[in-house]
Amino acid sequence: MSGYELQRINAFLAGFARRQAEHTADIPGGFAVFDDRFADSWSHNQVVVDRAGVDPADLPGLVDEVMGERPFRLVSVLDGAFGEACVDPFERAGYRHHTYLVMLHTGAVPADRATEGGRTAEDVELEAILAPLAARWRTLLAEAGYAVINMLVDRRRTRSRGATRVQVLGSRAENGEVAAWGDLYLEPTLGIAQVEDLMTAEAHLRRGHADAVLTTALRRAAAAGCGTRFLTADADDWPRHWYERRGFTSIGHSHGFQRT
C-alpha cells in the first residue's frame, strides 16, 4: 500500500509544482518550473524529476541546459529509489545532496476539540502572517538582506494556484496576533491533502500553537474526504520526530540536489 500511496503523493507534488509555476519546460524524466517574478527563489526556479525515464548520468547536463544562465541549481527527484542512482552523478557535478521523508498520517484523526492548553486554529488571511513570517525568516537567515526576506514572504502568494483548495491556518496568541501558521493543500476529488510550512513565531514557541494548527489541518483534511494526509520533512532535522509523535509515519523519501 505504501508504494501506491507514494505514487499518488508524488503525482500530487509534481502537479502542484506545475500549477504553481509561471511557466514550465519539459525535459527527459521531468520538467523545469520558472517564475520570473521570484527569480531568486530556488523552489520557484528548479527542475523536478518525476519519472525514471532518463539516465542519471545525463541529468546534470540536462539541468544546465534548461536552467541556462540562472546562478543556482535545485533539482527535486521525487522517486526515492531513482534518486539514489542520481546521487553520484550530481555530487560529481558539484551538487549537495539532501534527503526528505514523505510522512503519511497513519494515526487517528484528532477529536474536534481544542488542543491541550485550549489552543485552536482558524482560517487566516495571508496578510495576517506576512509580518510574523518575515520576522521568523530574519531569525532563521540572520545574514539575509531585506530584499531576500521580502521575496521569501511574497512568493507564498503563488501557492494559491497549486491545489484545488489552499487554506492558510493560524493559531492566535492572547493578544490576537498569529502565533503559528501553516498551509493546507486539498484535492478532495483525489482524496489527498498536504500540510506544508508549519511555522511558529519565535516569541510563541513551545506553547501548543503548532499543535493547534496541525490538529485543525488534519481534521479539515479528513472532513474533505482526504484519506491520504501527508507532509514532507528533512530526514536529518528534528521536526520529523515531532511529527512521528503526532501520528505520522515515514513511507518513503525524495531527494534534493543543490548547487550555487
Residue 205: Cβ-neighbour burial (10 angstroms; 0-12, 13-18, 19+): exposed
The verdict on residue 48 lying in a domain is yes
Is the pLDDT at 2 greater than 80? The verdict is no
Q: 28 is in which domain, residue-wise?
A: 2-102
pLDDT digits (tens, 9 = 90+) for 191-243: 999 999 999 999 999 999 999 999 999 999 999 999 999 999 999 999 999 99
The CATH number assigned to the domain holding 153 equals: 3.40.630.30
> What's the chain's average pLDDT?
94
Question: Tell me, what's the pLDDT at 144?
Answer: 86
| Same domain membership, residue 148 and residue 57 | no
**CB contact at 8 A, 182 and 195:** yes
| Same domain membership, residue 245 and residue 127 | yes
Output 245 or 118, whichever has higher pLDDT.
245
Number of independent structural domains in the chain: 2
| Same domain membership, residue 136 and residue 78 | no
> Model-level pTM?
0.94
**CB contact at 8 A, 213 and 181:** yes
Residue in this structure with the C-alpha cell 494559491, named with its chain if needed: 160
| Same domain membership, residue 62 and residue 145 | no
| Same domain membership, residue 139 and residue 182 | yes
The verdict on residue 113 lying in a domain is no
Residues 143-168, mean pLDDT to the nearest whole number: 92
